[in-house]
Structure 1
Amino acid sequence: MSKEYRLGLIVPSSNTTMEKEIPAMLKAREEMIQDEKFTFHSSRMRMMKVTKEELAKMDIDSDRCALELSDARCDALAYACLVAIMSQGPGYHCLSESRLSKVAKENSAPVPVISSAGALIDGVKAIGAKKIAIVTPYMKPLTNMVIEYIESEGIKVTDSISLEVADNLEVGRLDPLNLVTIVDDLDVSEADAVVLSACVQMQSLPAIQKVQDKLGKPVLSAAVSTVYKLLKELTLKPVVPNAGYLLSEEFNSAHAGK
């Protein structure tokens, strides 16, 4: 009999991608590992424009979302908005995860709570990358906040591209395969790895393996890192086909038990 895992997603109200890419990765895993099943349950925080002010206002709602999802007795919760965390200043993912874990625990649901922001940091460190190049959909001031946050964690950002799309719905409509050519303008010469989407709303999954094959360097995203961290928290081998190096059998076999 298959083991079923309930995953709770805390998402911006205008996010249309996390409930697409995370299930896609884990459905691909289900085809590979027959005795696992995943279900997905969301709670939403109001947000339409990706601005520092609106992100801060939205973040307050994350406590309510964690409480609602803990009612469903999910096996793990993921706060799926990277820039909402990173725009609050260095180290905020630790404070957020701790606070939301407390909310769930006080509702008799002591389950792991992760954030896409913390997961991206952990994912980059897991593959041993010290320097990365990134692509974001944000306006440049928000991209700079993301860079400062990442660099506060001891990871150097060698180059970045900001697509400067402020409307979160429009971010979700961007063609992910355009990233295959967008990276031609990204200087990856000094980078150990590439973050193809430092945003869980900007789709990148269909392009990740293509760009990795093109560049010959590890490629990951905030969504890929979120799946990696969720699987680790559930004590499952973090492997998903065609989702880049972090979730590859090659990487995880080499780092089993670490």
Structure 2
Amino acid sequence: MRNYRIGQIVPSSNTTMETEIPAMLNARRELFPNETFTYHSARMRMMSVTPEELTAMDQASDRCAIELSDARMDVMAYACLVAIMAQGNGYHRQSQARLQKAVQENNTNIPILSSAGALVDSLKEKNLGKVSIITPYMKPLTQRVIEYIEAEGIRVHDSISLEVSDNLEVGRLDPANLLEHVTRLDIDGVDAVILSACVQMPSLPSIQKAEDKIGKPVLSAAVATVYQMLKTLNLETRVPNAGFLLSGN
């Protein structure tokens, strides 16, 4: 048996990543019974998804990384996509390097990734160069996410903004509704659909259903985070019923 410690740096109002990440990794037990995972989080204050709160929250990520490194994680993820993307194109590289330096100064060498980096890196790795996305954000923030993704060389063909600014309410959105939202999304000619370009908007129960419904790869920021975590841990990138990215193909 091998146990892996999974660390997450999350907004204080996030209620989804500590649900969906364990759900995906625990679902691997039927495939890989010798793996076990434990889950550990540190929190940054944030209630409303506004540029001002996102910037203030991001400044607390160093403290969170250091606190988690005290418990010697095997991998850590900065689990807030928009907090990274709101800071400017390519910021995930700067953030990850800064957090890596912080934990190294704490005498550890824990690999650190981010949900923002995981999403764009996974799209590029799988040659998914044209996507349509669904976000819970207000339209200006969705546009910021689109600009960030496109700066990484990925074209965003269409988007839907659900316009929910209260982060707690985002976490209460019914993932089943995404199966209706995806039918309103223009997916003509796209390589993939990002069903939730937000780690707080629940989507995991609908990922495989949406993929089966539209016949195209479907993923989320949370799915991409798990994919990159598994790669970092040198584990097979397979989770049952979690869509193309975690199919092992």
CA distance in 1, matches of 2:62, 2:84: 13
Aligned position for 1:113: 112
2:197 alignment counterpart: 198
Cα distance in 2 for partners of 1:52, 1:185 equals: 28
Query: Counterparts of 2:136 and 2:225 in 1: how far apart (Å)?
Result: 18
The residue type equivalent to 1:208 in the other structure is: I
Q: CA deviation at 1:65?
A: 0.1
Normalising by structure 2, we get a TM-score of 0.99
Distance 2:27 2:125 in 1: 22
**Which residue number corresponds to residue 214 of structure 1?**
213
Deviations 1:177-214 (A, max 9, x none): 10001111100002110000000000000000000001
Q: Deviations over 1:37-85 (max 9, x none)?
A: 0100000000000001100000000000000000000011100000000
Which residue of structure 1 lines up, in the alignment, with residue 84 of structure 2? Answer: 85
Asked whether 1:189 is paired with 2:164, we answer no
Structure 1: state its 5+ residue gaps: 252-258
The residue matched to 1:78 in structure 2 has which SS?
strand
Match of 2:149 in 1: 150
Partner of 1:172: 171
SS of 1:20 mapped into structure 2: helix
The 3-state SS of whatever aligns with 1:110 is coil
In the alignment, structure 1 residue 35 sits paired with structure 2 residue 34 = yes
Identity among equivalent positions (%) equals: 66
* TM-score using structure 1 length: 0.96
- Supply the AA of the counterpart residue of 2:160: I
Equivalent position amino acid for 1:5 in 2: Y
Q: CA deviation at 1:31?
A: 2.6
Q: Which residue of 2 aligns with 1:73?
A: 72
Q: Following the alignment from structure 1 to structure 2, what is the Cα–Cα distance between the partners of residues 31 and 72?
A: 28
Over aligned residues, Cα RMSD in angstroms? 0.6
Tell me, in whole angstroms, the C-alpha distance in 2 between the residues paired with 1:190 and 1:88: 30
1:51 corresponds to which residue?
50
Runs of 4+ in structure 1 over 6 Å off: none
Structure 2: 5+ residue runs without aligned partners?
none
C-alpha distance in 2 between matches for 1:57 and 1:107: 23
* Deviation for aligned residue 1:32: 1.8
Q: Using the alignment, how far apart are the partners of 1:107 and 1:237 within structure 2?
A: 30
Which amino acid is the alignment partner of residue 150 of structure 2?
Answer: E
In structure 2, how many angstroms separate the alpha carbons of the residues matched to 1:119 and 1:171? Answer: 21
